[in-house]
Amino acid sequence: MNDDDLVWLGAADLGRQIRAGEITSVRATEACLDRIARLNPRLEAFITITDERARAEATAADAEIAAGNWRGPLHGVPYCLKDIVQTAGVRTTAGSFILADWVPEADATVQTRLAAAGAVLLGKVNTHEFAFGATTQNGHGRTRNPHDTARIPGGSSGGSAAAVAAGLAAFSIGSDTAGSIRLPAAYCGIAGLKPTWGLVSAAGVVAQSFSADHVGPMARSVEDLAAIMAVIGGPDPADPTCLETPPPDFLTVGAATLNGVRVGVPTELLGIPLQPAARDGFARALAALTDLGARVLDVSVPLLAQATEINNAIVPPETMAQHLRWQSGWFRGREVRYGDDVAELLATGAEVPGTATILAQRNRIELGYQLDRMFAESADVLLTPAQPSAAIRLDGLGMDLDAMIHFLCPFSLTGVPALALPSGADQDGLPVSVQLIGPRLHDPRVLAVGRALEMALGFRRRPNL
């Protein structure tokens, strides 16, 4: 296997081959670093490359494995982090001018767990400023979609999606508040999981919205997502929002037998126009699930029709409140200068009346109850499109932020697990994707159905770079 093929191995497969001695972590890491050096000037996915650290970690991983000290399925596997995940001794910019030179003194919990698992950190990848936006364009980099560099990768975890889709890393860690893992995963044609809220610690991750932030994995396959979740999930006393119960068993996730599985299609979300390719990809996924033995049925969750409105009355005000707190504390002594788009979003958050936010929180709770009842009575999982179209242009022509979060934000608001998965491509080769959603803490169910669907669809396209 040459290095051009090696970089396309999934995280789980690469981990198995490293453990078996068929490939060394050093070779895998050097292959990624070489590809980053060649392609990152075009993609602008990486903001900080930790090449010497990566080489040292890979060398240590090979030595440990050779000595019989195997740490688990990610031992020796190279990865990257969204640049809101704090890394001790390595700058964390959050995509902002304000934190351009900030070097944290401690790691985020998710990074601590990956380091303990023996994974190899390649560096930090770009994010929309303070994870508050959908394009991943800022003063640190204008990240591009590997399938068409005239298109955005989505956001706010656009650097993560671009890096994984381009073969620059085996996996990445992103965050999702209203779709920021699933949107770029959909635009770049990879898999991305927004886990159950509180299943993965957010301690040490630069916050956007305290009640809606999720930390989760992005990779090229569902199998890889399960392997990563087995490492990063679990209780954390440093995060008061983190669940205290042990995480589900992710290492046993396989392709589910779908005979009799009820797949619900929520009618309230299908009222917006879909690009033909997105519509065809959704139909293809429904047909594949039916062929696998699942029973597809229409379901109703009335408040899904208001989810974007609910989101917009909660997330921007929470984000603005967070920044007011930082401006009076953490940001003191720094020049507080936001990009124009984020400044506008923050101003929007400041203008939402408190009564509107209170009413939206009430509707959010009711939406959660409606989803719980629907899952209990009607469906095991839901299927929706992930995006109404393929990736939009870098110039933002035709950008509609409400449409981009339409299928995504209801499930961030309610904290249920949601998986974005590629389901085809448009006439220009741009990926389109679907989304699978399950009940709280049924993340393994979502991944198992997703793996079966992924195998049935067989869609995995390397960008022509």
- CA dihedral 383→168→217→215, nearest 10 degrees, is -120
- Eight-class DSSP state of 208: S
pLDDT by residue (tens digit) across 447-462? 999 999 999 999 887 9
Distance of CA 385 to the CA centre of its chain: 16
Distance of CA 203 to the CA centre of its chain: 17
DSSP characters over 18-38 = HHHTSS-HHHHHHHHHHHHHH
Cβ atoms of residues 195 and 443 within 8 Å:
yes
Give the Cα separation of 223 and 109 in Å (integer).
Answer: 23
The ranges of the chain with pLDDT < 50 are: none
pLDDT at res. 50: 98
pLDDT at res. 324: 97
pLDDT at res. 255: 66
- Among residues 25, 96, 156, 201, which one is catalytic? 156
The verdict on pTM exceeding 0.85 is yes
pLDDT at res. 398: 78
pLDDT by residue (tens digit) across 295-354? 999 999 999 999 999 999 999 999 999 999 999 999 999 999 999 999 999 999 999 999
Active site residue 82: yes
Give the Cα separation of 330 and 262 in Å (integer).
Answer: 48
Residue at token pair 């989101």 = 311
Cis peptide before 300 (omega within 30 of 0): no
pLDDT at res. 460: 80
- β-strands 46-49, 214-219 pairing: unpaired
Cβ atoms of residues 187 and 218 within 8 Å:
no
User: Residue 8, Cβ neighbours under 10 Å: how many?
Assistant: 14
* CA 204 to each of CA 86, 158, 347, 372: distance values in angstroms, whole numbers, following the listed order: 6, 20, 26, 31
CATH of 3-457, one of 3.40.50.300, 3.40.50.800, 3.90.1300.10, 3.20.20.70: 3.90.1300.10
pLDDT at res. 395: 87
Cβ atoms of residues 338 and 129 within 8 Å:
yes
pLDDT by residue (tens digit) across 42-52? 999 999 999 99
| Element (DSSP H or E) covering residue 117 | none
How far from each other are the two terminal CA atoms of the chain, in whole angstroms?
19
Active site residue 180: yes
Residue at token pair 């919990």 = 109
Active site residue 194: no
- Eight-class DSSP state of 152: -
| Element (DSSP H or E) covering residue 394 | none
- Among residues 180, 221, 389, 412, which one is catalytic? 180
Q: What angle do CA 321, 398, 206 make, to 5 degrees?
A: 25
Quick one: the chain helix, strand, coil %, rounded to 5?
40, 15, 45
pLDDT at res. 19: 98
| One-letter identity of residue 21 | G
Max CA pair span of the chain: 62
pLDDT at res. 48: 98
User: Could you tell me which of 53, 186, 173 has the C-alpha nearest to residue 113?
Assistant: 173
340-351 and 307-327 helices, crossing angle to 10°: 110
- Among residues 82, 172, 175, 423, which one is catalytic? 82
